[in-house]
Structure 1
Amino acid sequence: MDKPLKTPPPYAITSVDHALRAATMLQLEGSLTVTEVAERLGVARSTAHRLLAMLVYRDFAVRDERRVYRAGPVLELATHSRSLVSRLRTAALPHLHRVVDLLDETTNLTIRTGDTARFIASVECHRSLRVGSREGMVFPAHRTTGGLLLLAELSEEELAEVYAPERYRDRPQDRPDLDRLSRELKGVRKGGFAVNRNRSERGLVAVGVPVRDREGRTLAGLSISMPGVRYDPHDLQSLVGTLQAAARALGADLAATAT
């Protein structure tokens, strides 16, 4: 069994975690107010203001004349990339909340960049035993449900380019077995969904489906994550059906905003 990729530190520093999450929000979405950051982090406005002030001081953020914060020189992304991620996240959040209401499991939206998958939105469920928010986290694409869904869209040549041996010269242990991965991705393409058991974290099961644009291209992966003790394979068809309905609705919303 693979070892877990993300293990929380035994002595987590909440203020550091909040600052990093705030920086990630700015990097992914472009601009936010103090109130928006406070609400997203679940902290007081005064706390959010202090966090943002430190990010500005260290050039992770800048504040404009309207007191709106955006990514600073250290974090700034290309405008097109940032706006696409922001549009995806904004359109997806109502659907993620709806899935949580229906299934009561943590729900995520994931995009792929090269051989990594980034969680751009995450809504936690209401159960005491639950998978925490993954928003802003980055994992190897082949170890996540959303990553598998997005890799499944690639041709054999494109997949080989993503995992070209020269890209892993300094970390050959991180390169997946391409033959095995290719076989798995064929199953994902055929079934239209992916199931992740213990690949990104021991004791975690995730089920996901692709979110497609009007041309049928996969833009993101929509998934739920749950403790493995709660997963019943007999429920898989129902889980996939709920996710596919949400993914279709999200795709329709994206198409509408693009016109």
Structure 2
Amino acid sequence: MDKPLKEPPPYAIASVDNALRIATMLQLEGPLTVSEVARRLGVANSTAHRLLAMLVYRDFAVRRPDRAYRVGPVLELAAHSQSTAARLRAAALPHLHALAELLEESANLTIRTGDTARFIASVESQQVLRVGSREGMVFPAHRTTGGLLLLAELPPDGLAALYSPDRHDQRPDVAPDLDALRADLARVRRNGFALNEGRSERGVVAVGVPVRAPDGAAVAGLSLSMPSARYEKERLPHLVGTLRKAANALERDLAR
């Protein structure tokens, strides 16, 4: 008789299995409440709440204002296409290493999923005082350099819809001032680069440029992060120029 395609492991861990089942339910079925999750898993509400809290902590889920839970940025990444993200990361890594070595600052590649930005690749500077790796981390898009670059590509109605107060998953604590954000994005479009001085993290300055697909659409943000104590405004044209050369080289690799 053929062996089954899948067999439970000999030392199954119930809590891990339940967390994975919740993540699958959220991705395939949509938002669920604590009581609905508890009923589906056959566990107490308190157990379901703890499992959901851990998924929220690891960005697999997000708690909405109505107390239901939906998929978080990690699972939303599938909508962006994991194969695309993986291809971007693989193509970008040599360029990130080259940037970090040449400019002696940490280099990053970021993509946008909805109103969040995710760092899919990061190479640290070798300097003692440096910005650490951000790989895998998720931030509100309007607070990151790469996020600003990609938000700047949205048409006005697309930006308004993304930050509409009617969205159930819109978090008031991270929602931007839309008028101020529009002004920031207009500046990004005008300059062709984004400068982030302490916007996502105090004491950190980042500058970035978009990476474009062959059709001209921006697919990622390429950026440098550095301690604000080391940032010199006079170096900005050089930093932007070097980033643009790297972005152009990455775009040629992606086209191939």
Please confirm whether the aligned pair reaches a TM-score higher than 0.5, indicating the same fold: yes
Which string of whole-angstrom CA distances, capped at 9 and with x for unpartnered residues, describes residues 145-177 of structure 1?
A: 000000000010000011011226773232111
Structure 1 position 239, deviation (Å): 0.1
Q: What secondary structure sits across from 1:58 in the alignment?
A: helix
Partner of 2:185: 185
**Structure 1: distance between partners of 2:12 and 2:183:** 47
Bigger Cα Rg: 2
| Match runs of 1:15-164 below 5 Å | 58-59=16-17, 78=78, 81-164=81-164
CA distance in 1, matches of 2:184, 2:79: 35
Find the residue that maps to 2:166 and give its secondary structure. helix
Q: What is the match of residue 224 of structure 2?
A: 224
Cα distance in structure 2, aligned partners of 1:182 and 1:87: 31
Contact 2:223–2:243, Cα closer than 8 Å, also in 1: yes
Residue 248 of structure 1 deviates from its aligned partner by: 0.5
Aligned pairs for 1:203-214 (under 5 A) are 203-214=203-214
| Bigger RCO (CA 8 Å, 6+ sep) | 1
Q: TM-score, normalised by structure 2?
A: 0.70
| Distance in 2 of aligned mates of 1:226 and 1:165 | 34
Counterpart residue identity of residue 145, structure 1: T
In the TM superposition, residue 79 of structure 1 has moved relative to its aligned partner by 8.8
Structure 2: stretches of 5+ with no match in the other structure:
1-10, 21-70
Question: Distance in 2 between the 1:112 and 1:137 partners?
Answer: 12
- 1:221, distance to aligned residue in structure 2 (A): 0.2
- CA deviations on 1:199-249 (whole Å, 9 max, x unpaired) are 110000000000001111100000000000000000000000000000010
Q: Number of aligned pairs? A: 192
Query: Stretches of 4+ moved more than 4 A in 1?
Result: 74-80
Q: Is the 8 A contact 1:119 1:134 kept in 2?
A: yes
Matched residue, 2:235: 235
Task: Give the alignment's TM-score, normalised by structure 1.
Answer: 0.69
- Is the partner of 1:134 in helix, strand or coil? coil
Can you give the 5+ residue segments of structure 1 that lack an aligned partner in the other structure? 1-52, 62-73
